[in-house]
Amino acid sequence: MLSGKRFKISRETIAIETQADGRRVAIHVPQGEIVKVISGPRPDDKRMVDILWDGRTLVIFADDIQLRGEEVKAAEKP
């Protein structure tokens, strides 16, 4: 389970943000950024997780977190 874990992104990764009007926009999460998985993988879609980055809630592929992220332990500070 990825929920609650934080990851440092090793390569720029694309995530999706849903705007207030319902539009979905691709967002680039830069290399070196810390993201926190807030839920997921989703029961209806095991491929996606919700993350918190830079005060924004985004959706990203679980595989991208696992392949491009290095878990940051609780004792480490971003």
Q: How many CB atoms within 10 Å of residue 7? A: 22
Residue 46 has pLDDT above 80, yes or no: no
Mean pLDDT of the chain: 90
Predicted TM-score (pTM) of this structure: 0.84
Nearest alpha carbon to residue 2 among 55, 58, 56, 51: 51
Q: For domain 6-72, which CATH number applies: 1.20.59, 1.10.10, 3.30.70, 2.30.30?
A: 2.30.30
45-58 mean pLDDT: 91
Domain boundaries, given as residue ranges, for the chain: 6-72
CA distances from 26 to 1, 4, 12, 60, 75 (A): 25, 23, 12, 10, 31
Residue 5 has pLDDT above 80, yes or no: yes
Residue 27 has pLDDT above 50, yes or no: yes
Residues 60 and 69: their CA atoms lie apart, in Å, by 12
Question: Confidence band (pLDDT; 50, 70, 90) for 78?
Answer: very low
